[in-house]
Amino acid sequence: MLKIAIMGAMPEEIAPILEKFRPYKTTKYADNEYYEATYNGVEIVVAYSKIGKVFSTLTATTMIQHFGCDKLLFSGVAGGINPNLKIGDLIVATKLSQHDLDITAFGHPMGFVPGGSIFVEANKELIEISKEVAKELGKTVQEGIIATGDQFVHDEKVKDNIVKYFNADALEMEGASVAVVCNALNVPFFILRAISDTADTDASFSFDKFMESSAIISAEFIMKMVQHIVDTK
Ligand code: ADE
């Protein structure tokens, strides 16, 4: 049976998804909780990883290696850096990069380490499904580059550097690490984010105000994608 992982970083990012899968089974593994359910002939594993690249790496790896998931969908919020992205707008990652991975001291480009690549591309079929779902809903969903790092960005200069090096449209703290895991383990993945702030000096206030509503916007879209995958399997 097809087994889909649905991941967020924070409880608020998965709560609107989890409630759709009641009753679910809760399993504790590697100091985190995983919620398992069956939905119209598809197995689902939901979890929030906790914030950052390390926790999200652990959760994505666990969902694939321990729970046996064969697709991974990530839902959550992001800071917008492309001025076209407003609070509540959705962005689908076409490719992702770690903006804080820096061995430029040795002549390498930002985001690159030997054996890796600056960008990891998301699965094209899942992006295609997101376009179909957006069309069905009459919703605009932008595609773009997401930059990931272990910092909440709230500074124009940091933002400008991320644009300079990665031409990123949005930034967050888990997408690229999940992408690296899925890419290494050959699992198709999809990263969706709704904008909660614009990573400027007001970012923490904006995040506190809009995180929950934007998390719901992203979660609802992910649920429509799950429905589409179930209907067309
Ligand atoms: N997630 C949402 N907003 C963010 C920001 N400004 N920096 C990092 N991650 C975020």
| For ligand 1, atom 2: residue with the closest CA | 78
Average pLDDT for the chain: 97
Amino acid at site 75: S
What DSSP string runs through the chain?
--EEEEEESSHHHHHHHHGGG-S-EEEEETTEEEEEEEETTEEEEEEE--SSHHHHHHHHHIIIIIT--SEEEEEEEEEE-STT--TT-EEEEEEEEETT---GGGTPPTT--TTS-S-EEPPHHHHHHHHHHHHHHT--EEEEEEEE-SS----HHHHHHHHHHH--SEEESSHHHHHHHHHHTT--EEEEEEEEE-SSTTHHHHHHHHHHHHHHHHHHHHHHHHHHHHHT-
Stretch 143-148: mean pLDDT: 98
Q: What is the pLDDT of residue 218?
A: 98
197 in catalytic set: yes
Whether this model's pTM surpasses 0.85 = yes
Atom of ligand 1 nearest to the CA of 79: 3
Q: Ligand 1 atom 8: the closest Cα is on which residue?
A: 152
- Protein residue whose Cα sits closest to atom 1 of ligand 1: 78
Q: Which of 12, 169, 174, 197 is catalytic?
A: 197
pLDDT digits (tens, 9 = 90+) for 116-136: 999 999 999 999 999 999 999
Residues with CB under 6 A from ligand 1: 77-79, 152-154, 171-173, 196-197, 199, 203, 207
Q: Ligand 1 centroid vs 182 CA: distance in angstroms?
A: 22
- Answer for the pair 109, 44: CB distance below 8 angstroms, yes or no: no
Name the band, by pLDDT with cuts 50, 70 and 90, for residue 3.
very high
Report the nearest-CA residue for atom 9 of ligand 1: 172
* Mean pLDDT calculated for residue range 31-55: 97
- What is the DSSP pairing of strand 42-48 with strand 32-39? antiparallel
CATH number of 3-214: 3.40.50.1580
d(CA 103, CA 113): 7
Instruction: Find the 152 Cα to ligand 1 centroid distance in Å.
Output: 5
Cβ contact 75:192 at 8 Å = yes
Which atom of ligand 1 lies at the shortest distance from residue 151's CA?
8
Can you give the pLDDT at residue 233?
82
Residue range 137-144: mean pLDDT, rounded: 95
Show the tokens assigned to 223: 């649920």
The residue whose CA is least distant from atom 6 of ligand 1 is 199
- With the most atoms of ligand 1 within 8 angstroms of its CB, the residue from 162, 166, 171 to mutate is 171
Enumerate the domain spans of the chain: 3-214
The yes-or-no answer on residue 19 being catalytic is: no
